[in-house]
Each structure stands twice: as C-alpha cells, then as structure tokens.
Amino acid sequence: MSVRVRLLAIVLISSVTLLTIGVGAAGYLVKSARDAEEWAELASSTTAPAILMVQAFQEERRLSLLYLAGDAEVRPGLAAARQRSDAALAAVIDKGDAARKLNPGGSASDIEGYNKLFAMVPTVRAGVDSQQAPPNDVFVVFSQVIGTIVAASWWPPGWRRKPISRSNSATASNLCALPRHCRWRTHWARWR
C-alpha cells in the first residue's frame, strides 16, 4: 500500500467515525428537545386547571370550617363549592394522566399517594355534613389536597420524591416537630 492510500484510509475512517457520532448525538438532542417541548406544553396547559383547583378547594375548606363553626347559612355555598372542587379536580387528574403518559414510570408512586388523599375527601365531606369532623382534621386534609398541586409541580419529571400518604402526612403535631429553619414550623407555631 502506498502512503497516499494509508493516509486516505486514516482520514476516511476518522471522518466516518466522527460523522456517525455527530449524527447520533444530534438525533439524541432532537429527541430530548421534543420531549422537553411536550412536557413544557403540558405544564403550561396545566396552569389554569391547577389554579382553579387550588381556589376551589380553598373556598371549600373555608366554607367547611364555617359550617363546622355553626354557620348554617353557608350550606348552599358549600354545595356549589364542592361541585367546583370536583370539576377542578377532574381537570387536574386528566392533566395528570397526560403527564403519566409522558413519564410512565417516574411518578406512579406519587400518583398513588395523591389518589389515596383524594379518596379521603368524600369522607371528610361526610364528616362536615354531619358536623362530626374535627375542624383541625378538615383543615389539614384540605390543605394537603391543595398541597398536591405544589408537590406535583415543584419537581421536574424523573425526580424522585416522597409521596403523600397517611404515614407522612402534614398534621399539626408533626409539622411542629420540623426543623427550626422550616417555614411551616413557624406557621404552625402561631396556631398552637
């Protein structure tokens, strides 16, 4: 083999290798960009239902506590607030299903924890209707439901976080045991 053929072989092999690596990296970056775009579109379309859910459950929490305090005049407003809460929750759950399709394995345990929490809402509502539910428990459950929006939107897909469950739920007793630097500790300390 001549020097010219050897030199051409070295250059050709290096060029083909670099071209293959470049095409593979470009394909990976394009796929990542498309996935990020889909997630961003989903996140931006989730904003309105999430805000409506937070507002609806805050209103239901407020009216429930007023009803437990003996204000019977809020009963019609409480029924309407529950309908708005259910509609907003259904819209957020639909967006959660779409998010699960984009990230099928990453949030299954979180969604299971949220569903357990959402399943507690009818029980709390029944306790409010019978005026037998402790106001503190009603406040905590509705606050946790509202907190699911914060928890779900705080972490990007693929990150692991501790799901909300009965064992690690935010009650007044264990929130006050949080570290000194936690802002919830100072919030709950005012209400003790």
pLDDT at 66: 95
Q: Does residue 178 have a pLDDT over 70?
A: no
What is the tens place of the pLDDT at every residue in 84-135?
Answer: 999 998 888 888 777 777 766 655 566 677 778 888 899 999 999 999 999 9
Average pLDDT over residues 1-5: 86
pLDDT band at 189 (very low <50, low <70, confident <90, very high): very low
pLDDT attached to residue 140: 93
Q: How far is CA 187 from the centre of its chain?
A: 22
Q: pLDDT tens across 12-71, in order? A: 999 999 999 999 999 999 999 998 898 888 878 888 888 899 999 999 999 999 999 999
pLDDT band for 152, please (50, 70, 90 cuts).
low
Distance between CA 51 and CA 138 in Å, rounded? 21
Whether the full predicted model's pTM is greater than 0.75, yes or no, is no
Tell me the CA end-to-end span of the chain in Å, nearest whole number: 89
**pLDDT the model gives residue 138:** 93
The pLDDT of residue 176: 36
